[in-house]
Amino acid sequence: MKVTVVGTGYVGLVTGACLADMGNHVMCLDVDARKIEILNSGGIPIHEPGLDEVVRRNAAAGRLQFTTDIPAAVSHGTIQFIAVGTPPDEDGSADLQYVLAAARNIGRLATDYKLVVDKSTVPVGTADKVKAAIADELARRGLDLAFSVASNPEFLKEGAAVEDFMRPDRIVVGAEDERAVNLMRALYAPFQRTRDKLVVMDLRSAELTKYAANAMLATRISFMNELALLAEKMGADIELVRQGIGSDPRIGYHFLYAGAGYGGSCFPKDVKALIRTAADQGQGLKVLQAVEDANDAQKRVLVDKVVARFGADLNGKRFAIWGLAFKPQTDDMREATSRVVIAELLARGATVSVYDPVAMDEARRIFGDEPRIAYASGPMQAAAGAEALLIVTEWKEFRSPDFEGLKAALKTPVIFDGRNLYEPALVREFGLDYEAIGRPAAVKPAA
Protein backbone atom coordinates (compact mmCIF):
# COMPACT_ATOMS: atom_id res chain seq x y z
CA MET A 1 0.00 0.00 0.00
CA LYS A 2 1.03 3.60 -0.45
CA VAL A 3 1.11 5.41 2.85
CA THR A 4 1.99 8.96 3.80
CA VAL A 5 2.84 9.84 7.39
CA VAL A 6 2.55 13.53 8.23
CA GLY A 7 4.84 14.42 11.14
CA THR A 8 8.10 12.53 11.55
CA GLY A 9 8.52 12.63 15.34
CA TYR A 10 8.51 9.74 17.82
CA VAL A 11 5.15 8.42 16.61
CA GLY A 12 5.34 9.30 12.91
CA LEU A 13 8.85 7.95 12.33
CA VAL A 14 8.13 4.68 14.14
CA THR A 15 4.81 4.28 12.30
CA GLY A 16 6.37 5.01 8.92
CA ALA A 17 9.38 2.74 9.46
CA CYS A 18 7.34 -0.20 10.79
CA LEU A 19 4.74 0.06 8.02
CA ALA A 20 7.54 0.15 5.43
CA ASP A 21 9.06 -2.94 7.07
CA MET A 22 5.89 -4.85 6.14
CA GLY A 23 6.40 -3.97 2.48
CA ASN A 24 4.35 -0.79 2.22
CA HIS A 25 5.66 2.23 0.34
CA VAL A 26 5.84 5.00 2.90
CA MET A 27 6.58 8.68 2.52
CA CYS A 28 7.24 10.60 5.75
CA LEU A 29 6.60 14.34 5.63
CA ASP A 30 7.78 16.93 8.10
CA VAL A 31 7.86 20.72 8.11
CA ASP A 32 11.11 20.57 10.07
CA ALA A 33 13.71 20.59 7.28
CA ARG A 34 16.52 19.77 9.73
CA LYS A 35 14.85 16.49 10.73
CA ILE A 36 14.31 15.47 7.11
CA GLU A 37 17.91 16.36 6.26
CA ILE A 38 19.22 14.14 9.09
CA LEU A 39 17.00 11.26 7.94
CA ASN A 40 17.96 11.68 4.30
CA SER A 41 21.62 11.59 5.20
CA GLY A 42 21.22 8.27 7.05
CA GLY A 43 20.82 9.61 10.59
CA ILE A 44 18.03 9.40 13.16
CA PRO A 45 16.90 12.60 14.92
CA ILE A 46 15.70 10.82 18.09
CA HIS A 47 16.96 8.08 20.39
CA GLU A 48 14.72 5.04 20.10
CA PRO A 49 16.17 1.53 20.49
CA GLY A 50 16.13 -0.52 17.27
CA LEU A 51 14.63 2.25 15.17
CA ASP A 52 17.76 3.17 13.22
CA GLU A 53 18.05 -0.35 11.87
CA VAL A 54 14.43 -0.47 10.65
CA VAL A 55 14.75 2.99 9.11
CA ARG A 56 18.02 2.20 7.34
CA ARG A 57 16.80 -1.15 6.04
CA ASN A 58 13.66 0.28 4.50
CA ALA A 59 15.21 3.49 3.22
CA ALA A 60 17.86 1.39 1.47
CA ALA A 61 15.13 -0.79 -0.05
CA GLY A 62 13.43 2.33 -1.40
CA ARG A 63 10.27 1.74 0.62
CA LEU A 64 10.77 4.62 3.05
CA GLN A 65 11.24 8.20 1.89
CA PHE A 66 11.53 11.47 3.79
CA THR A 67 10.43 14.79 2.42
CA THR A 68 9.38 18.35 3.15
CA ASP A 69 7.48 18.46 -0.15
CA ILE A 70 3.81 18.75 0.84
CA PRO A 71 2.27 18.24 -2.65
CA ALA A 72 4.41 15.11 -3.19
CA ALA A 73 3.38 13.72 0.21
CA VAL A 74 -0.32 14.35 -0.35
CA SER A 75 -0.15 12.80 -3.79
CA HIS A 76 1.77 9.70 -2.56
CA GLY A 77 -0.41 7.91 -0.01
CA THR A 78 -3.92 6.54 -0.32
CA ILE A 79 -3.70 6.39 3.45
CA GLN A 80 -2.56 9.64 5.05
CA PHE A 81 -1.61 9.32 8.71
CA ILE A 82 -1.57 12.52 10.73
CA ALA A 83 1.05 12.10 13.46
CA VAL A 84 1.93 15.70 14.24
CA GLY A 85 2.27 17.12 17.75
CA THR A 86 -0.75 18.17 19.82
CA PRO A 87 0.92 20.23 22.56
CA PRO A 88 -1.11 21.75 25.37
CA ASP A 89 -2.62 25.14 24.68
CA GLU A 90 -2.55 27.80 27.40
CA ASP A 91 -5.77 26.49 28.95
CA GLY A 92 -4.57 22.86 28.94
CA SER A 93 -6.62 21.83 25.91
CA ALA A 94 -4.83 20.13 23.03
CA ASP A 95 -3.58 22.59 20.43
CA LEU A 96 -5.00 21.30 17.14
CA GLN A 97 -3.36 23.81 14.79
CA TYR A 98 -0.85 21.28 13.42
CA VAL A 99 -3.46 18.54 12.95
CA LEU A 100 -5.81 20.90 11.14
CA ALA A 101 -3.00 22.37 9.02
CA ALA A 102 -2.14 18.84 7.89
CA ALA A 103 -5.82 18.13 7.12
CA ARG A 104 -6.13 21.35 5.13
CA ASN A 105 -3.08 20.47 3.07
CA ILE A 106 -4.75 17.20 2.12
CA GLY A 107 -7.99 18.96 1.15
CA ARG A 108 -6.06 21.59 -0.78
CA LEU A 109 -4.00 19.16 -2.84
CA ALA A 110 -5.69 15.73 -3.06
CA THR A 111 -6.75 14.55 -6.50
CA ASP A 112 -8.00 11.06 -5.62
CA TYR A 113 -9.59 9.17 -2.71
CA LYS A 114 -7.76 9.54 0.61
CA LEU A 115 -8.21 7.80 3.94
CA VAL A 116 -7.06 10.37 6.49
CA VAL A 117 -6.13 8.75 9.80
CA ASP A 118 -5.65 10.71 13.02
CA LYS A 119 -2.82 9.02 14.89
CA SER A 120 -2.02 12.04 17.01
CA THR A 121 -3.71 12.07 20.41
CA VAL A 122 -6.66 14.37 19.83
CA PRO A 123 -9.73 15.37 21.84
CA VAL A 124 -13.11 13.83 21.18
CA GLY A 125 -14.68 15.51 18.18
CA THR A 126 -11.41 16.21 16.34
CA ALA A 127 -12.21 13.77 13.51
CA ASP A 128 -15.26 15.92 12.77
CA LYS A 129 -13.03 19.00 12.62
CA VAL A 130 -10.58 17.21 10.33
CA LYS A 131 -13.47 16.17 8.09
CA ALA A 132 -14.80 19.74 7.99
CA ALA A 133 -11.34 21.17 7.20
CA ILE A 134 -10.84 18.80 4.27
CA ALA A 135 -14.40 19.30 2.99
CA ASP A 136 -13.93 23.06 3.20
CA GLU A 137 -10.72 22.99 1.13
CA LEU A 138 -12.28 20.66 -1.44
CA ALA A 139 -15.33 22.94 -1.71
CA ARG A 140 -13.03 25.91 -2.36
CA ARG A 141 -11.63 23.97 -5.30
CA GLY A 142 -15.13 23.01 -6.46
CA LEU A 143 -14.10 19.34 -6.15
CA ASP A 144 -16.42 16.55 -5.05
CA LEU A 145 -13.78 14.02 -4.01
CA ALA A 146 -14.49 10.97 -1.83
CA PHE A 147 -12.47 10.75 1.38
CA SER A 148 -12.75 9.02 4.75
CA VAL A 149 -11.51 10.03 8.16
CA ALA A 150 -10.49 7.44 10.75
CA SER A 151 -9.07 7.59 14.26
CA ASN A 152 -6.21 5.24 15.10
CA PRO A 153 -4.70 6.33 18.42
CA GLU A 154 -1.16 5.20 19.12
CA PHE A 155 -0.27 3.33 22.32
CA LEU A 156 3.49 2.88 21.82
CA LYS A 157 5.86 3.59 24.67
CA GLU A 158 8.99 5.62 23.99
CA GLY A 159 11.99 3.39 24.64
CA ALA A 160 10.08 0.32 23.38
CA ALA A 161 8.29 1.97 20.48
CA VAL A 162 9.38 -0.36 17.67
CA GLU A 163 8.52 -3.47 19.69
CA ASP A 164 5.16 -1.97 20.72
CA PHE A 165 4.28 -1.07 17.14
CA MET A 166 5.36 -4.42 15.74
CA ARG A 167 3.56 -6.42 18.45
CA PRO A 168 0.60 -4.35 19.59
CA ASP A 169 -1.82 -5.50 22.33
CA ARG A 170 -4.66 -3.94 20.40
CA ILE A 171 -5.20 -1.70 17.39
CA VAL A 172 -8.01 0.73 18.02
CA VAL A 173 -9.74 1.95 14.88
CA GLY A 174 -12.51 4.50 14.91
CA ALA A 175 -14.25 4.78 11.57
CA GLU A 176 -17.64 5.35 10.08
CA ASP A 177 -17.45 3.71 6.68
CA GLU A 178 -16.59 0.26 5.47
CA ARG A 179 -13.96 1.40 3.00
CA ALA A 180 -11.94 2.95 5.82
CA VAL A 181 -12.26 -0.13 8.06
CA ASN A 182 -11.24 -2.45 5.22
CA LEU A 183 -8.17 -0.39 4.38
CA MET A 184 -7.09 -0.28 8.04
CA ARG A 185 -7.70 -4.00 8.40
CA ALA A 186 -5.53 -4.72 5.36
CA LEU A 187 -2.78 -2.35 6.47
CA TYR A 188 -2.57 -3.86 9.95
CA ALA A 189 -3.02 -7.52 8.91
CA PRO A 190 0.75 -8.28 9.15
CA PHE A 191 0.81 -7.02 12.77
CA GLN A 192 -1.87 -9.40 14.03
CA ARG A 193 -1.06 -12.81 12.73
CA THR A 194 -1.77 -14.67 15.99
CA ARG A 195 -5.18 -13.13 16.72
CA ASP A 196 -7.44 -10.31 15.59
CA LYS A 197 -6.29 -7.24 17.47
CA LEU A 198 -8.41 -4.68 15.69
CA VAL A 199 -10.95 -3.06 18.00
CA VAL A 200 -13.30 -1.22 15.68
CA MET A 201 -15.54 1.47 17.06
CA ASP A 202 -16.99 4.87 16.26
CA LEU A 203 -14.71 7.87 15.90
CA ARG A 204 -15.52 9.52 19.22
CA SER A 205 -15.08 6.36 21.26
CA ALA A 206 -11.68 5.78 19.64
CA GLU A 207 -10.59 9.31 20.47
CA LEU A 208 -11.72 8.94 24.07
CA THR A 209 -10.08 5.50 24.41
CA LYS A 210 -6.60 6.99 24.08
CA TYR A 211 -7.20 9.56 26.80
CA ALA A 212 -8.87 6.98 29.02
CA ALA A 213 -5.82 4.70 28.77
CA ASN A 214 -3.30 7.38 29.67
CA ALA A 215 -5.53 8.82 32.39
CA MET A 216 -5.89 5.38 34.00
CA LEU A 217 -2.12 4.76 33.98
CA ALA A 218 -1.39 8.22 35.37
CA THR A 219 -3.99 7.60 38.08
CA ARG A 220 -2.24 4.41 39.21
CA ILE A 221 1.06 6.27 39.48
CA SER A 222 -0.32 9.22 41.44
CA PHE A 223 -2.26 6.86 43.71
CA MET A 224 0.93 4.99 44.59
CA ASN A 225 2.88 8.23 45.01
CA GLU A 226 0.40 9.56 47.53
CA LEU A 227 0.41 6.25 49.39
CA ALA A 228 4.22 6.37 49.40
CA LEU A 229 4.16 9.71 51.20
CA LEU A 230 1.79 8.22 53.76
CA ALA A 231 3.96 5.10 54.09
CA GLU A 232 6.96 7.28 54.93
CA LYS A 233 5.02 9.03 57.68
CA MET A 234 3.72 5.78 59.10
CA GLY A 235 6.87 3.69 58.96
CA ALA A 236 5.59 1.39 56.19
CA ASP A 237 7.49 0.45 53.02
CA ILE A 238 5.70 1.20 49.73
CA GLU A 239 7.78 -1.42 47.91
CA LEU A 240 6.35 -4.16 50.11
CA VAL A 241 2.87 -2.69 49.74
CA ARG A 242 3.35 -2.66 45.94
CA GLN A 243 4.17 -6.34 45.93
CA GLY A 244 1.32 -7.05 48.29
CA ILE A 245 -1.29 -5.50 46.04
CA GLY A 246 0.28 -6.12 42.62
CA SER A 247 -0.01 -9.86 43.15
CA ASP A 248 -3.80 -9.47 43.05
CA PRO A 249 -4.70 -10.20 39.42
CA ARG A 250 -7.46 -7.60 39.60
CA ILE A 251 -4.75 -5.01 40.26
CA GLY A 252 -1.58 -6.31 38.56
CA TYR A 253 1.97 -4.99 38.84
CA HIS A 254 2.10 -2.47 36.00
CA PHE A 255 2.37 1.24 36.74
CA LEU A 256 2.39 0.73 40.49
CA TYR A 257 5.88 2.07 41.16
CA ALA A 258 6.15 5.04 43.48
CA GLY A 259 8.65 7.65 42.32
CA ALA A 260 9.40 11.31 41.79
CA GLY A 261 6.43 11.91 39.49
CA TYR A 262 5.57 11.10 35.88
CA GLY A 263 6.63 13.26 32.93
CA GLY A 264 6.95 12.81 29.20
CA SER A 265 5.15 14.01 26.16
CA CYS A 266 1.91 12.17 26.91
CA PHE A 267 0.66 11.70 30.47
CA PRO A 268 0.89 15.32 31.68
CA LYS A 269 -0.59 16.80 28.53
CA ASP A 270 -3.26 14.13 28.02
CA VAL A 271 -4.45 14.33 31.63
CA LYS A 272 -4.70 18.12 31.29
CA ALA A 273 -6.50 17.87 27.96
CA LEU A 274 -9.06 15.39 29.26
CA ILE A 275 -9.78 17.59 32.28
CA ARG A 276 -10.24 20.50 29.86
CA THR A 277 -12.51 18.53 27.54
CA ALA A 278 -14.69 17.55 30.50
CA ALA A 279 -14.81 21.12 31.78
CA ASP A 280 -15.99 22.27 28.36
CA GLN A 281 -18.89 19.85 28.78
CA GLY A 282 -19.65 21.28 32.22
CA GLN A 283 -18.33 18.18 33.93
CA GLY A 284 -15.60 18.02 36.51
CA LEU A 285 -13.18 15.08 36.56
CA LYS A 286 -12.35 15.19 40.24
CA VAL A 287 -10.23 12.06 40.30
CA LEU A 288 -8.12 13.19 37.38
CA GLN A 289 -7.65 16.70 38.75
CA ALA A 290 -6.29 15.12 41.92
CA VAL A 291 -4.01 12.90 39.82
CA GLU A 292 -2.52 15.98 38.21
CA ASP A 293 -2.17 17.96 41.44
CA ALA A 294 -0.54 14.99 43.17
CA ASN A 295 1.94 14.62 40.31
CA ASP A 296 2.88 18.31 40.30
CA ALA A 297 3.65 18.01 44.01
CA GLN A 298 5.49 14.71 43.54
CA LYS A 299 7.98 16.25 41.10
CA ARG A 300 9.12 18.45 44.00
CA VAL A 301 9.43 15.67 46.57
CA LEU A 302 13.16 15.08 46.00
CA VAL A 303 13.90 18.78 46.49
CA ASP A 304 11.70 18.82 49.61
CA LYS A 305 13.92 16.06 50.99
CA VAL A 306 17.06 18.00 50.07
CA VAL A 307 15.69 21.10 51.80
CA ALA A 308 14.71 19.11 54.89
CA ARG A 309 18.33 17.98 55.14
CA PHE A 310 20.36 20.97 53.93
CA GLY A 311 17.98 23.89 54.59
CA ALA A 312 16.17 26.18 52.13
CA ASP A 313 19.29 28.17 51.29
CA LEU A 314 21.43 25.98 49.07
CA ASN A 315 23.93 28.67 48.07
CA GLY A 316 27.39 27.34 47.41
CA LYS A 317 26.21 23.73 47.25
CA ARG A 318 26.48 21.54 44.17
CA PHE A 319 24.24 18.52 43.70
CA ALA A 320 24.76 15.61 41.35
CA ILE A 321 21.80 14.57 39.20
CA TRP A 322 21.64 11.12 37.63
CA GLY A 323 19.08 10.97 34.84
CA LEU A 324 17.55 13.77 32.78
CA ALA A 325 15.23 11.95 30.36
CA PHE A 326 11.64 11.53 31.56
CA LYS A 327 12.24 7.79 31.56
CA PRO A 328 15.00 5.36 30.53
CA GLN A 329 15.70 4.41 26.91
CA THR A 330 14.77 7.80 25.51
CA ASP A 331 16.31 11.23 25.14
CA ASP A 332 12.90 12.87 25.53
CA MET A 333 12.88 15.48 28.30
CA ARG A 334 9.40 16.87 27.74
CA GLU A 335 7.82 17.51 31.19
CA ALA A 336 10.66 15.49 32.75
CA THR A 337 10.92 15.54 36.53
CA SER A 338 14.61 16.46 36.14
CA ARG A 339 13.60 19.86 34.78
CA VAL A 340 11.57 20.67 37.90
CA VAL A 341 14.28 19.32 40.22
CA ILE A 342 17.02 21.35 38.50
CA ALA A 343 14.92 24.54 38.40
CA GLU A 344 14.05 24.21 42.11
CA LEU A 345 17.65 23.57 43.12
CA LEU A 346 18.95 26.52 41.08
CA ALA A 347 16.21 28.75 42.51
CA ARG A 348 17.56 27.97 45.98
CA GLY A 349 21.07 29.01 45.03
CA ALA A 350 22.54 25.58 44.28
CA THR A 351 24.45 24.45 41.21
CA VAL A 352 24.18 21.00 39.63
CA SER A 353 26.38 18.50 37.82
CA VAL A 354 24.22 16.31 35.62
CA TYR A 355 24.61 13.05 33.76
CA ASP A 356 22.29 11.05 31.49
CA PRO A 357 23.35 8.22 29.17
CA VAL A 358 21.54 9.67 26.11
CA ALA A 359 19.80 12.98 26.94
CA MET A 360 22.88 15.21 27.35
CA ASP A 361 22.46 16.91 23.96
CA GLU A 362 18.76 17.41 24.59
CA ALA A 363 19.60 18.93 28.00
CA ARG A 364 22.10 21.32 26.40
CA ARG A 365 19.44 22.31 23.88
CA ILE A 366 16.95 22.99 26.69
CA PHE A 367 19.21 24.69 29.24
CA GLY A 368 21.46 26.47 26.75
CA ASP A 369 24.66 27.76 28.29
CA GLU A 370 23.27 28.06 31.84
CA PRO A 371 26.52 28.39 33.81
CA ARG A 372 25.13 26.74 36.96
CA ILE A 373 24.69 23.42 35.12
CA ALA A 374 27.80 21.30 34.56
CA TYR A 375 27.56 18.39 32.13
CA ALA A 376 29.51 15.41 33.45
CA SER A 377 31.08 12.72 31.29
CA GLY A 378 29.81 9.89 33.52
CA PRO A 379 27.86 9.19 36.71
CA MET A 380 30.92 9.19 38.96
CA GLN A 381 32.22 12.39 37.39
CA ALA A 382 28.87 14.02 38.22
CA ALA A 383 29.09 12.83 41.82
CA ALA A 384 32.71 13.87 42.38
CA GLY A 385 32.79 16.61 45.00
CA ALA A 386 29.01 17.10 44.94
CA GLU A 387 27.15 17.73 48.17
CA ALA A 388 24.79 14.79 47.56
CA LEU A 389 23.33 12.67 44.77
CA LEU A 390 19.78 12.84 43.38
CA ILE A 391 18.57 9.99 41.14
CA VAL A 392 15.81 11.11 38.80
CA THR A 393 15.67 8.52 35.96
CA GLU A 394 15.92 4.76 36.44
CA TRP A 395 18.55 4.00 33.79
CA LYS A 396 19.93 0.46 34.02
CA GLU A 397 23.47 1.73 34.42
CA PHE A 398 22.50 3.37 37.73
CA ARG A 399 21.14 0.15 39.20
CA SER A 400 24.35 -1.28 40.54
CA PRO A 401 26.78 1.55 41.21
CA ASP A 402 30.08 1.46 43.03
CA PHE A 403 28.68 2.48 46.42
CA GLU A 404 32.12 2.67 48.02
CA GLY A 405 33.30 4.97 45.26
CA LEU A 406 30.17 7.06 45.65
CA LYS A 407 30.69 7.45 49.35
CA ALA A 408 34.22 8.65 48.73
CA ALA A 409 33.12 11.00 45.92
CA LEU A 410 30.25 12.78 47.69
CA LYS A 411 30.86 15.52 50.26
CA THR A 412 27.87 14.34 52.29
CA PRO A 413 27.26 10.62 51.90
CA VAL A 414 23.59 10.79 51.00
CA ILE A 415 21.54 9.55 48.06
CA PHE A 416 18.08 10.92 47.33
CA ASP A 417 16.62 8.23 45.13
CA GLY A 418 13.54 9.34 43.19
CA ARG A 419 13.11 5.90 41.56
CA ASN A 420 13.63 3.43 44.42
CA LEU A 421 16.49 1.63 42.70
CA TYR A 422 18.19 0.05 45.70
CA GLU A 423 17.59 -2.04 48.77
CA PRO A 424 17.87 0.53 51.58
CA ALA A 425 19.70 -1.86 53.91
CA LEU A 426 22.34 -2.59 51.26
CA VAL A 427 23.08 1.06 50.58
CA ARG A 428 23.32 1.82 54.27
CA GLU A 429 25.84 -0.96 54.73
CA PHE A 430 28.24 1.18 52.70
CA GLY A 431 27.82 4.03 55.16
CA LEU A 432 25.63 6.04 52.82
CA ASP A 433 22.40 7.68 53.91
CA TYR A 434 19.59 6.66 51.63
CA GLU A 435 16.36 8.56 51.15
CA ALA A 436 14.00 6.93 48.69
CA ILE A 437 10.27 7.37 48.01
CA GLY A 438 8.01 5.72 50.56
CA ARG A 439 10.81 3.64 52.07
CA PRO A 440 11.50 4.78 55.62
CA ALA A 441 14.70 3.90 57.40
CA ALA A 442 12.95 2.08 60.21
CA VAL A 443 11.33 -0.69 58.17
CA LYS A 444 12.78 -4.15 58.53
CA PRO A 445 11.30 -6.94 56.44
CA ALA A 446 10.18 -9.89 58.54
CA ALA A 447 12.77 -12.66 58.69
Ligand X SMILES: NC(=O)c1ccc[n+]([C@@H]2O[C@H](COP(=O)([O-])OP(=O)(O)OC[C@H]3O[C@@H](n4cnc5c(N)ncnc54)[C@H](O)[C@@H]3O)[C@@H](O)[C@H]2O)c1
Cβ(392)–Cβ(260) below 8 Å: yes
Cross-strand partners of 2 = 25
- 339-373 per-residue burial string, b: 16 or more CB within 10 A, e: under 16: bbbbebbbebebbbbbbbbbbbebbeebbeeeeeb
Q: What's the min distance (Å) between Cβ of 79 and ligand X?
A: 16
Residue 266 a catalytic site member: yes
The count of residues interacting with ligand X (CB under 6 A) is: 26
Residue 110 or 321 with smaller CB distance to ligand X: 110
**CB 152 → ligand X: shortest distance, Å?**
11
Q: Is 379 in the site for ligand X (CB under 6 A)?
A: no
Query: Nearest distance from residue 418's CB to ligand X, in Å?
Result: 21
CB nearer to ligand X: pick between 7 and 424:
7
Yes or no: say if 95 and 103 are a contact pair by the CB < 8 Å rule.
Answer: no
The CB-of-420 to ligand X minimum distance in angstroms stands at 23
Interface residue with ligand X among 58, 86, 126, 151 (CB under 6 A) is 86
Enumerate residues 201-260 that contact ligand X by CB under 6 A: none
List phi, psi (to 5°) of 213.
Answer: -65, -50
Single residue of 3, 10, 64, 383 touching ligand X by CB under 6 A: 10
Q: Using CB under 6 A, which residues numbered 422 to 441 contact ligand X?
A: none
Stretch that binds ligand X, among 83-91, 136-144, 230-238, 275-283 (CB under 6 A): 83-91
Selected catalytic residue, list 94, 116, 181, 266: 266
Specify which residues 390 forms β-bridges with: 321, 416
Q: Least Å distance between CB 97 and ligand X?
A: 8
Query: Cβ closer to ligand X: 221 or 414?
Result: 221
Terminal CA-to-CA distance of the chain, rounded, Å? 61
Instruction: Provide CB contacts within 8 A for 31, sequence distance 6+.
Output: 68
Nearer of residues 27 and 241 to ligand X, judged by Cβ? 27
- 2 versus 399: smaller Cβ distance to ligand X: 2
Question: Residue 391 forms beta bridges with which residues?
Answer: 322, 417
* CA-based torsion, 304, 305, 308, 311: positive or negative: negative
Rg for the chain (alpha carbons), in Å?
A: 24
Residue 44 contacts by C-beta under 8 Å, 6 or more apart in sequence? Answer: 13, 38, 51, 52, 55
Q: How far is the CB of 70 from ligand X (least distance, A)?
A: 7
Taking the complex as a whole, the smallest distance from the CB of residue 243 to ligand X amounts, in Å, to 28
Residue 206 or 386: which CB sits closer to ligand X? 206
Q: Which stretch binds ligand X (CB under 6 A): 1-9, 226-234, 351-359, 399-407?
A: 1-9
Task: Looking at residues 135 to 194 of the shown chain, list those that interact with ligand X (rule: CB under 6 A).
Answer: 154, 156, 158
- Span 287-346, contacts to ligand X by CB under 6 A: none
Of 66, 98, 188, 403, the one binding ligand X by CB under 6 A: 98
Residue from 175, 184, 266, 324 that binds ligand X (CB under 6 A)?
A: 266
Chain positions 16 to 55 lying near ligand X, rule: CB under 6 A, are: 29-32, 35
According to CB under 6 A, which one of 4, 24, 148, 265 is a site residue for ligand X? 265
Q: Which is nearer to ligand X, 158 or 394 (CB)?
A: 158
∠ at Cα 197 (194, 201), nearest 5°?
Answer: 160
Shortest distance in whole angstroms from residue 187 CB to ligand X: 18
Q: Residue 151 or 265: which CB sits closer to ligand X? A: 265
Stretch that binds ligand X, among 95-103, 239-247, 358-366, 412-420 (CB under 6 A): 95-103
Instruction: Say whether residue 102 binds ligand X (CB under 6 A).
Output: yes
- Cβ proximity to ligand X: between 165 and 355 the closer is 165
Q: From residue 141, how far is each of 74, 79, 148, 196, 253 by CA, in Å? A: 16, 21, 18, 40, 55
Q: How far is the CB of 31 from ligand X (least distance, A)?
A: 4
Cβ(153)–Cβ(209) below 8 Å: yes
Judged by CB under 6 A, the stretch of 7-15, 54-62, 182-190, 432-440 that binds ligand X is 7-15
Residue numbers of the site for ligand X (CB under 6 A)?
6-12, 29-32, 35, 83-86, 98, 101-102, 120-121, 154, 156, 158, 265-266
Annotated active-site positions, please? 266
